[in-house]
Amino acid sequence: MPTVYNARDAANYERLMGRWSRRLAPLFIEHAGVTDGEEVLEIGCGTGSLTFALAEAARFARLTAIDQSEIYLAAARARNRDPRINLEQGDGCALRFADASFDRTLSMLVLPSVLPEPEQMVAEMRRVTRPGGVAAAAFWDTPGGTPHQRMFWDTAAALDDSAGSARDNTLSRPVYAPGALERMWAEAGFVEIDQRSLMIRMDFTDFADYWAPFASGEGGLGAYVATLDDARRGRLEHHLRAAYLTGRPDGERSFVAVALSCRGLVPKT
């Protein structure tokens, strides 16, 4: 599963995304569903935000959670005390599992980073899910629903043409287009398809709390920061600080964050 996500350090990932994933996970579980006795597959488990939320939500029979990053898997394994959970390295576009192996197949905050086409992963989710089972995925609505990321991209693009190209390449991915998720689920053969928006708030204690995860080089935005020399990085930090502060003293800021979530049923016949 070739991906544009830049995985470097589990602790930095926690600050960049894991803390927000834990807020999103209960909303996604409510939409995707999970019931007692099920065998569940999670694609792209990262450091385990959804994994361990699922363990609290239901008495499933078994949860297989896969990720491509051994860095993130090591962090998840260190936290895991649940014998029902198996964490392993795996490719969401070429799953090793037989057809119809799971009652429910889930993925959170992965699909837009899958290359070349996220449709491959959706088709694999459909293949390994049993008739009558459910597959669901959720990810941030980056173009329109994550102002803290748009603030970064738009500020960087105003300062650097290469950032403008990176922003446009990121935000113009077909998976973000209106109706794209429902189309992918329908083309994969799902029925009773339901898409909705899930909203949380991202609360930062100060500008350093906002900036440090990007400065660490983690993720797609961090990968861009890592390409900058000291002068360009300092310029970006200066202008981002102004955008974050908006004329007020440094301190807490809260941003809405919206995820797109889609679920579908595998037909029984």
pLDDT digits (tens, 9 = 90+) for 151-170: 999 999 999 999 999 999 99
Q: Are strands 129-140 and 102-108 parallel, antiparallel or unpaired?
A: parallel
Split at pLDDT 50, 70, 90, the class of 216 is: confident
Could you tell me the sign of the dihedral formed by the alpha carbons of 237, 239, 243, 248, in that order? positive
In this predicted structure, what is the pLDDT of residue 249?
Answer: 98
CA proximity to 33, closest of 62, 54, 61:
54
In this predicted structure, what is the pLDDT of residue 175?
Answer: 94
Residue 90, pLDDT > 80, answer yes
CA proximity to 170, closest of 217, 105, 98, 221:
221
Of 126 and 219, the structure prediction assigns the larger pLDDT to: 126
Cβ neighbour number for residue 98 with a 10 Å cutoff: 9
Residue 6, pLDDT > 80, answer no
In this predicted structure, what is the pLDDT of residue 115?
Answer: 66
Residue 31, pLDDT > 90, answer yes
* 107, 92 contact by CB (below 8 A): yes
In this predicted structure, what is the pLDDT of residue 18?
Answer: 81
Residue 2, pLDDT > 70, answer no
In this predicted structure, what is the pLDDT of residue 60?
Answer: 95
What architecture (CATH level 2) is domain 10-265? 3-Layer(aba) Sandwich (3.40)
Task: Read off the pLDDT of residues 171-182 as tens digits, 9 standing for 90 and up.
Answer: 999 999 999 999
- Which tokens in the block code for residue 136? 């669901």
CA proximity to 25, closest of 135, 81, 83, 107:
107
Lowest-confidence segment of 95-99, 115-119, 246-250 by average pLDDT: 115-119
98 phi/psi in degrees, rounded to 5: -70, 165
For Cα atoms 29, 109, 222, give the angle at the middle one, nearest 5 degrees.
145
How far is the C-alpha of 97 from the C-alpha of 5, rounded, in Å? 24
In this predicted structure, what is the pLDDT of residue 109?
Answer: 93
Q: Of how many residues is the chain composed?
A: 269
Which letter, b or e, does each residue of 30-61 get, where b requires 16 or more Cβ atoms within 10 Å of its Cβ?
Answer: ebbebeeebbbbbbbbbbbbbbbbbbebbebe
- Which tokens in the block code for residue 66? 């896969």
CA proximity to 202, closest of 146, 156, 150, 240:
146
Whole-number percent of the chain with pLDDT over 90: 86
Q: Which amino acid is at 100?
A: A
In this predicted structure, what is the pLDDT of residue 3?
Answer: 52
What's this model's pTM, rounded to 2 decimal places?
Answer: 0.93
Helix (H) or strand (E) holding 268: none
Split at pLDDT 50, 70, 90, the class of 220 is: confident
Mean of all residue pLDDT scores within the chain? 93
In this predicted structure, what is the pLDDT of residue 79?
Answer: 93
